[in-house]
Amino acid sequence: MATPAAIEARNLSFGYESGLALTNISFTLDEGELLALIGPNGSGKSTLLKLLLGFLRPRAGEVELFDAPLSSYVPKERARQIAYVSQQPVSSFPLTVFELVALGRYPHASRFGSSAADLSAVEEALDYTASRALAARRFATLSGGEQQKVLIARALAQSARILLLDEPTLHLDLHYQLQIFAGLKRLCAQKRLTIVTVLHDLNLVSLFADKALLLSGGKLRAFGPVAEVVTECKIKELLGVDIKAMTDAATGIRYFVPRRPR
């Protein structure tokens, strides 16, 4: 019996008063895959995440999670299926890091209080994001990068099957960018977590993503394995950046270097 797709988007369109923001977007993502959404600012990447999450309702088309319409999930069940981290950390939480990450267990809460499984999920999430040393700190005292790591940990503690991330490396230095994505890739492999993330760094896309979806002008311009989507030609044409692709002979991984604009 075939395994159902984790996410299937069919002919999604969405518009604001100023006009259509996304037009006829279709793609399928399997369990355990990491998809990078790439494209210029204003191309509809964050809007697409919100449609997949159910924050926005499409003008046309539909989203299915594991062969069930997104609209069929009640809020608590939807939260067991899909978690989200926005690109803007909020620093006003009057909680410790541990308390904030524990809020991610809300979809699994019972009237008998926290369980051993809840505690294990919180500790594991702190470990995957290298945040355990911050557990007793007040969230509001952390740096922007530390706050972003903790918010990712809260989403992981939710134990959802799908994780949506909107520019998760925005406030992170290079060390933590690599550390976070290495942890996320382990979750894809070990727990079949499915991830959709907005990324601007093509080298992170090349290092960690299985597939890429390229948006421009609210339209899907390319979708598929990273090597087929992220090419010198497509990036130059759709992002307006002249890049040079090079392959590491030891690992076979491609890296991208922008050429200086003329």
Q: What is the pLDDT along the chain (262 residues), one digit of tens a residue?
A: 578 899 999 999 998 877 778 999 999 999 999 999 999 988 999 999 999 999 999 999 999 999 999 999 998 899 999 999 987 666 677 899 999 999 999 888 766 567 888 899 999 999 999 999 999 999 999 988 888 899 999 999 999 999 999 999 888 899 989 989 999 999 999 999 999 999 999 999 999 999 999 999 999 999 999 999 999 999 988 888 899 999 999 988 899 998 887 6
Return the structure tokens found at 116: 């051993």
Nearest to 51 by CA among 22, 28, 75: 22
Write the DSSP symbol of residue 71: G
59 CB-near residues (< 8 Å, 6+ apart): 13, 14, 15, 20
- State the CB neighbour count (10 A cutoff) for residue 254: 18
Question: What confidence score (pLDDT) does residue 115 get?
Answer: 83
CATH superfamily of the domain spanning 7-258: P-loop containing nucleotide triphosphate hydrolases (3.40.50.300)
Kindly give the interhelix angle for 174-191 and 116-128, rounded to the nearest 10 degrees.
140
Return the structure tokens found at 177: 């960018």
Question: What confidence score (pLDDT) does residue 21 get?
Answer: 87
Which long-range CB contacts under 8 A does 88-96 form with residues at least 24 apart?
Answer: 89/144, 89/147, 89/148, 89/151, 89/171, 91/139, 91/140, 91/142, 91/147, 92/140, 93/139, 93/140, 94/138, 94/140, 95/138, 95/139, 96/135, 96/136, 96/137, 96/138, 96/139
Question: What confidence score (pLDDT) does residue 87 get?
Answer: 78
> So where are the chain's domains?
7-258
H/E element, 245: strand 243-247
Question: What confidence score (pLDDT) does residue 109 get?
Answer: 73
Question: What confidence score (pLDDT) does residue 71 get?
Answer: 92
Question: What confidence score (pLDDT) does residue 89 get?
Answer: 61
